[in-house]
């Protein structure tokens, strides 16, 4: 595939829902953007990154997880590892060579899980770098109160109002259990690639301490945490997106 594909493409799979994605070929490691929970590739950060990559002749892949955005499947039937499988399937189908994975919020957890799987399978050279935006590994642990966890286990799901959508956040028992089985912060994380972690100091959803804890857990010696004064969870202001693109550009040069 060459040039820019503004149109949405679909990856057909036998045993799993087909996946909507956008891909532009180019130089350097392929930039892979992983959106957050109940988010998709149409978001401002993903779109800005894709447009920048296309204008600079750099390879980039956007995607919607199964049950999200334009992809097939039911959201409530997906787990954290299902979505990791979606990312790996698209990387295998569309990308040759190294990747720089950019993960936003929950996408930051999937970024780590995907990188660990790629390194274990293909060797450390497959992952050229990671960039987390308010990365939220282990949020099934620290992101819910004991009362909320009890509701998830007893009733099978938790529904919460969210300022980010007109639809409630739904956390299913299967997703929560998948998250709990794949927590990362309580042990060393064996990733040695460069890592950049961007986090708003006014993030009311993912405490900045999560990025600091992640930096400490990573095996890499090349980890930088940037705390953005006045930045909220989304980090989607013009200055925030400029910081993101600058961070990606430096890691992919």
Residue among 205, 193, 192 at smallest CA distance from 231: 205
Phi/psi for 232 (5° steps) reads -95, -165
203 classed as catalytic:
yes
199 classed as catalytic:
no
Catalytic residue among 71, 211, 233, 247: 233
Catalytic residue among 71, 105, 178, 247: 105
Residue among 223, 139, 138 at smallest CA distance from 184: 138
161 classed as catalytic:
no
| 3-class DSSP state of 133 | strand
Buried b (16+ CB within 10 A) or exposed e, 190-206: ebebbbbbbbbeebebb
Residue among 167, 11, 172 at smallest CA distance from 80: 172
Q: What is the DSSP string of 54-118?
A: HHHTEEEEEE--TTSTTS-S-GGG--HHHHHHHHHHHHHHH--S-EEEEEETHHHHHHHHHHHHH
Catalytic residue among 82, 86, 203, 205: 203
The residues annotated as belonging to the active site are 105, 203, 233
């Amino acid at each position: 595939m060459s040039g820019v594909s503004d149109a949405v493409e679909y990856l057909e799979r036998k045993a799993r829902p087909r996946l909507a994605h956008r891909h532009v070929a180019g130089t350097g490691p392929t930039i892979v953007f992983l959106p957050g929970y109940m988010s998709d590739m149409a978001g401002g950060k993903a779109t800005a990154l894709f447009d920048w990559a296309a204008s600079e002749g750099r390879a980039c892949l956007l995607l919607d997880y199964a049950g999200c955005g334009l992809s097939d499947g039911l959201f409530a039937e997906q787990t954290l590892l299902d979505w990791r499988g979606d990312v790996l399937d698209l990387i295998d189908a569309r990308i040759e060579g190294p990747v720089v994975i950019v993960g936003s919020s929950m996408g930051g957890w999937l970024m780590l899980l995907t990188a660990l799987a790629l390194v274990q399978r293909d060797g450390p050279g497959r992952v050229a770098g990671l960039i987390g935006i308010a990365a939220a590994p282990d949020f099934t642990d620290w992101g819910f109160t004991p009362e909320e966890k009890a509701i998830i286990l007893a009733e099978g799901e938790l529904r919460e109002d969210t300022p980010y959508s007109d639809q409630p956040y739904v956390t299913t028992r299967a997703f929560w259990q998948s998250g709990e089985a794949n927590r990362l912060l309580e042990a060393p994380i064996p990733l040695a690639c460069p890592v950049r972690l961007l986090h708003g100091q006014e993030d009311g959803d993912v405490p900045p301490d999560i990025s600091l804890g992640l930096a400490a857990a990573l095996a890499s010696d090349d980890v930088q945490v940037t705390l953005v004064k006045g930045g909220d969870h989304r980090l989607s202001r013009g200055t925030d997106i400029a910081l993101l693109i600058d961070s990606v550009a430096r890691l992919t040069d």
